[in-house]
């Protein structure tokens, strides 16, 4: 059974983690789902499992993304694809800055730009942006550029609701804390070490938790817009305050 009035969805970063879980959930709800990611092999496995339609391409490839919207009316856009890096702005590289901005922010802006004309013409649609608590809180050890791009996604989500005032197009921002995905393994280059360091002794969120949150927002009555959802593990808290001691001779 299709979630009225939605019929189709596009999910980015769909080859693993939150994206793959979201594809599975939206297919369960009866939507035709277009899955976008660079890993063609994983996408084909997901297609065999769920019946989704795959697009093996980078979200940073505007030409490839535009072709999807030219051929399909997308009702639900899930901007999930993202990258991170270790380090802060003082020790990052030019390539790291460009990669994070390209995937985490520029691609979200471009996909939203491509999706909106059709949604506005049909007067129906739902844009779901997966941001991060890193876009709302500063904490030691976080990558500066990652924080900045996720803050941009938060600002975009807020402004979109103003831009779409009077239209039956909903905007949802979902801001998760630590989720047990492959991103940590990619950061340190060792999946087993990441599992031991970040997850073995902690109750973290699972990708399915975020997929269920997305499904809740999408399947809510049309009169209702779940505008912002912050999702944390029960045993995790955000925020904090640190003071550095004065060095000798500091007035």
Q: What is the pLDDT of residues 106-135, one digit of tens each?
A: 999 999 999 999 999 999 999 999 999 999
Residue 1 has a pLDDT of 47
Q: Are 203 and 233 in contact (CB under 8 A)?
A: yes
Return the axis-axis angle of helices 17-28 and 207-219, rounded to nearest 10°.
40
Residue 70 has a pLDDT of 96
User: For the domain with range 8-231, which CATH number is right: 3.40.1370.10, 3.40.1670.10, 3.40.50.720, 3.40.50.300?
Assistant: 3.40.50.720
pTM to 2 decimal places: 0.92
Q: In what order do the strands lie in the sheet with 53-56?
A: 53-56, 32-37, 8-12, 76-79, 125-130, 169-176, 228-231
Residue 244 has a pLDDT of 84
Q: Are 90 and 39 in contact (CB under 8 A)?
A: no
Q: Any idea where the domains of the chain sit in the sequence?
A: 8-231
HSE-up of 250 (CA within 13 Å, CB side)? Answer: 5
Return the axis-axis angle of helices 40-50 and 17-28, rounded to nearest 10°.
20
CB 38: neighbour CB atoms within 10 A? 15
Residues of the chain with pLDDT under 50: 1
HSE-up of 17 (CA within 13 Å, CB side)? Answer: 22
How far is residue 197's CA from residue 191's CA, in Å, rounded to a whole number?
10
Cis peptide before 110 (omega within 30 of 0): no
Residue 109 has a pLDDT of 98
Cβ neighbors of 38 (< 8 A, separation 6 or more) are 15, 56, 57, 58
Q: Are 213 and 231 in contact (CB under 8 A)?
A: yes
Active-site residue numbers? 146
Residue 181 has a pLDDT of 76
């Amino acid at each position: 059974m299709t979630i009225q009035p939605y019929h189709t969805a596009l999910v980015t970063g769909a080859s693993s983690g939150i994206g793959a879980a979201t594809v599975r959930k939206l297919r369960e709800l009866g939507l035709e789902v277009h899955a976008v990611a660079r890993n063609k092999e994983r996408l084909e496995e997901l297609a065999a499992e769920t019946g989704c339609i795959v697009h093996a391409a980078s979200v940073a490839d505007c030409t490839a993304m535009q072709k999807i919207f030219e051929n399909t009316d997308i009702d639900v856009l899930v901007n999930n694809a993202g990258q991170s890096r270790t380090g802060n702005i003082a020790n990052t590289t030019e390539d790291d800055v460009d990669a994070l901005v390209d995937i985490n922010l520029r691609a979200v802006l471009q996909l939203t730009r491509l999706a909106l004309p059709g949604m506005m013409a049909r007067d129906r649609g739902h844009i779901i942006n997966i941001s991060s608590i890193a876009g709302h809180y500063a904490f030691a050890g976080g990558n500066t550029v990652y924080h900045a791009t996720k803050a941009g996604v938060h600002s975009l989500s807020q402004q979109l609701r103003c831009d779409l005032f009077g239209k039956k197009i909903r905007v949802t921002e979902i801001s998760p804390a630590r989720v047990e995905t492959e991103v940590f393994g990619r950061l340190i280059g060792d999946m087993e070490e990441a599992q031991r360091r970040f997850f073995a002794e902690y109750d973290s969120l699972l990708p399915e938790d975020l997929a269920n949150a997305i499904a809740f927002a999408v399947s809510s009555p049309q009169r209702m817009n779940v505008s912002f959802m912050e999702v944390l593990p029960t045993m995790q808290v955000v925020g904090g305050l640190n003071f550095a001691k004065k060095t000798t001779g500091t007035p």
